[in-house]
Amino acid sequence: MTRYRVAAVIALIAGFLLAYFIWASDASPESRYRFKLGLDLAGGTELVYKADMSQTPAAEQSGALTALQGVVERRVNLFGVAEPLVQTERASALSGTTEDRLIVDLPGVTDINAAVAALGKTPTLEFKLATTAPAGPGQATSSVAFITTGLTGRYLSSAALQFGSGATAGLVSPEVLLTFNAEGAKLFEQLTSQNVGQVLAIFLDGQPISTPVIQEAIPGGVATITGHFSATEARDLVRNLNFGALPVPITLESSSAVGPTLGAAAIAAGVVAGLLGFAIVALFMTLWYRFAGLIAAVALAEYLVFMLSIIKVIPITLTASGIAGLIISLGMAVDANVLIFERTKEELREGKPPREAVHIGFARAWTAIRDGHLTMLISGVILFWLGTSIVQGFALVFVLGVLASFISAVSLSRVFLLALVPGEQGGGWRFLLGSGFRNN
């Protein structure tokens, strides 16, 4: 019994420390462990973009979408938005086809027009080779066409503003120096070595801004844009390119905003629902299962502080659906305790001593608890795998909650009971470990 009592004391102390951590970390505005709230709780803007993959080979679409996510994420971060979230998903369109989407969550940003304008400034950079098409009927001269090369802003590492060697800003046209990543450097060198003497046009947002002629192979992954623009235009171009040149075009499909008042109301409703649910469950368990129910209520409190600590430390973006997942997983912990106490009561009816009845009750309830939690875990994983971002928020918290409730029911309740229940009959323990309003 001594080891169970020591374990119970350690568990209680750990619970109090976790509760203090939850309170202290949220009370300090500077804490890195404050709850990370989603748009529906914190307020903000959600933008849904469609990525145009029509000009991207099928084998490169996955990489292009990942690069697009990284570029937009980098640009949003440079705007100083707190805790932005940029996600990609493949969804079914009304036409029956699938389309790639980019979902941008901007907590605290409630001006949709400003958010759209900010992201819309991000340029699409492309390098195209100029080819001469034969003159058509009625045409005196041949026309120039541009073909894609695959070298886009996806491979851009950085951009910098420079002027001619030894010159000043007022005397020489500004130039924009582009530096590609390793993959882009190889592609750029290959293009310049195979097309010496040809025009490699630089397009920005579909418009040619420079049409330099390739004089020689250019190794090292560095290119220069010498378009006809002022120093201010060149500086803005460098800034936007460093924000991130989009590897594929995007168009805004939908936008929505959640005001901070509505978010605060959702938080208040979630907290009230959680506290009320816990209080009702704890009261029912104590009244019906007596001493064992009181132990279960303590274990559930430990479960809650453990779960909230996990949410803070990972951290998990907490949404209204996530709060729902947390409350539902609380029900799983209660269900496991009910199975254990009913099995224990059956052993007491057969005349087993209280301590032995608790041991056997846990052993007999184990398979049902294991199978029930396993099925819930499978359901949660499937929801997270196949669901949208809202469903994934629910599924993630639910899965973690099921795991935590398993620990709460099987470990904490068992430790607390075995730390207090005696090994012999007497002292009213048959009544205390019974259930209902009769002495059974």
pLDDT one-digit tens code per residue, 377-388: 999 899 888 877
Angle between helices 413-420 and 260-313 (to 10 degrees): 60
CA gap 22, 10 in Å, rounded = 18
> Is-cis flag, bond preceding 315, omega within 30?
yes
pLDDT digits (tens, 9 = 90+) for 157-189: 888 888 765 444 455 678 888 899 999 999 999
Q: Whole-angstrom Cα distance, residue 137 to residue 143?
A: 12
Report the pLDDT value the prediction gives residue 166, as an integer from 0 to 100.
Answer: 43
Beta strands in 206-316 (DSSP E): 207-210, 222-225, 250-258
Residue 35 tokens, joined: 């709850």
pLDDT of residue 137: 63
Classify residue 59 by its DSSP letter.
G
Quick one: tokens of 78?
Answer: 């440079």
> Can you spell out the DSSP letters for 204-236?
ETTEEEE--B--S---SSEEEE--S--HHHHHH
- List, for the chain, all residue ranges whose pLDDT scores fall below the cut of 70: 75, 77-83, 92-96, 118, 120-123, 133-142, 164-172, 205, 227, 240-241, 243-245, 260-262, 389, 425-427, 437-440
- Residues β-bridged to residue 89: 101
Residue bearing tokens 């409703």: 269
- Identity of the residue numbered 375: T
Cα four-point dihedral sign 258, 259, 261, 267: positive
CATH architecture of 44-134+144-256: 2-Layer Sandwich (3.30)
Q: In 314-353, which ranges are continuous DSSP H helix?
A: 320-349
**DSSP state at residue 199:** B
- In angstroms, what CA-CA distances link 158 with 79, 180, 199, 239, 242? 17, 7, 23, 10, 6
- The predicted structure's pLDDT at residue 140: 55
* The one-letter amino acid at 418: L
Delimiting residues of CATH 3.30.1360.200 domain(s) in the chain = 44-134+144-256
CB count within 10 Å of CB 185 equals 19
CATH 1.20.1640.10 spans which residues of the chain?
2-39+259-432
3-state percent helix, strand, coil for the chain, nearest multiple of 5: 55, 20, 25
- Angle at which helices 320-349 and 413-420 pack, to 10 degrees? 40
Pairing relationship of beta strands 200-204 and 125-133 according to DSSP bridges: antiparallel
Can you tell me the distance from the alpha carbon of 144 to that of 200, in angstroms, rounded to the nearest whole number? Answer: 12
Residues with Cβ < 8 Å from 223, sequence gap 6 or more? Answer: 127, 177, 178, 180, 188, 202
Render pLDDT for 283-303 as a digit per residue (tens, 0 to 9): 988 888 888 889 888 988 888
Residue pair 390/316 in contact by the 8 Å Cβ criterion: no
What pLDDT score does 12 carry? 93
**CA dist., res. 334 & res. 321, Å (int):** 20
Q: Which residues have a Cβ under 8 Å from the Cβ of 199 and sit 6 or more positions away?
A: 129, 130, 211, 212, 213, 214
Whether residue 4 contacts residue 418, with contact meaning beta carbons closer than 8 Å, is answered with yes
Radius of gyration for the alpha carbons in the chain, expressed in angstroms and rounded: 32
- Indicate the pairing of strand 175-180 with strand 44-51: unpaired
Distance of CA 377 to the CA centre of its chain: 19
Could you say which DSSP state residue 129 is in? E
Burial class of residue 250, CB neighbours in 10 A (0-12, 13-18, 19+)? buried
> Other CB atoms closer than 10 Å to residue 9's CB: what's the count?
12
Tell which residue, 103, 26, 81, 57, has the closest CA to residue 390. 103
| Neighbour tally for 202: CB within 10 Å | 22
Tally the C-alpha atoms within 13 A of residue 382's C-alpha that lie toward its C-beta: 6
Strand, helix or coil at 316?
A: coil
CATH superfamily of 2-39+259-432: Multidrug efflux transporter AcrB transmembrane domain (1.20.1640.10)
Pairing of strands 317-318, 36-37: parallel
